[in-house]
Structure 1
Amino acid sequence: MQLNDLRPAEGAKKARKRIGRGNSSGYGTTAGRGTKGAGSRAGKQKGAGFEGGQTPLAMRLPKLPGFNNRNRVEYVPVNVARLDAYFADGDVVDCASLLAKGIVKYAYEPIKVLGDGEISKKLTVKVDKVSASAKAKIEAAGGKVELPC
């Protein structure tokens, strides 16, 4: 046996489709694309959102109203009732003391004191923001508010 006698096994090599090379090839005239319609035309890709002709999902869903303000500052709320429970009379309430007592988790977050509950102790509050009702309650108890910390 010589090298030139070697042949692939019968049926191992399949002839490729020669599309558009005459009717005798079996793939002439319409070249296997059928007649008419988008599939028979050049550049027939349907696109990523195409759903067989029904209205695509992206067009069926409503546009949501409003927007998200990227400059919004999110404050950590702390109520005056909590300050009354955690602090003694005459204490200074600031970022560091709130962090030390475990009322807030992180030192970098801005804090706002809100007016829910009652306060009976004289406290000096030094935080980023204080609501009007909280300020009135703190000052009515004999404390004072200093902004910002």
Structure 2
Amino acid sequence: MMFSEEPDQCQLAPVREDAFTSSELHEILSSLVQSGFPTHSTSGSETTQNGLPSNSTSGSETTRSVYSTEESKSRRMISNRESAKRSRWRKKKQLEDMTNQLNQLILDNIGLKNQLCLVTQNYQAVQRDSTRLLAEYIDLQQKLAGLQQVLVNMQLQ
């Protein structure tokens, strides 16, 4: 069985996420053959409504082998189309997931940069306070030493 290569004559069904099982594919192909879907035979003769050549002279063996070969091609074609659709869907989903992950990482990076900025500002404020307190400590130590000197001088007099 051959499908027309013209896109107007062949409508594709929507992609199912769970794909077709082998029994579903067999049912679809059987219903196409039973509904009189035209087939292509290798001898170029016309086909009847059941899909068999109308002037089959080589017997049922040849008809069955042609039917099986064409059915296999049709199954492979359907399977390949569905596989390609699933592959495209997976690729699209993977791209969306990676884009979402990238956006989340960008947001995380911005948050971490903001945190780093705040921590740096706090560190600089603490460092300024520490420097100021160290200077006050040194100043107070000098004043204390001066006062102790005055006290010692007062006691000596």
Normalising by the residue count of structure 1, what TM-score does the alignment of the two structures yield?
Answer: 0.25
User: Which is richer in helix?
Assistant: 2
Bigger relative CO (Cα 8 Å, ≥ 6 apart) = 2
User: Which is richer in strand?
Assistant: 1
Normalising by the residue count of structure 2, what TM-score does the alignment of the two structures yield?
Answer: 0.24
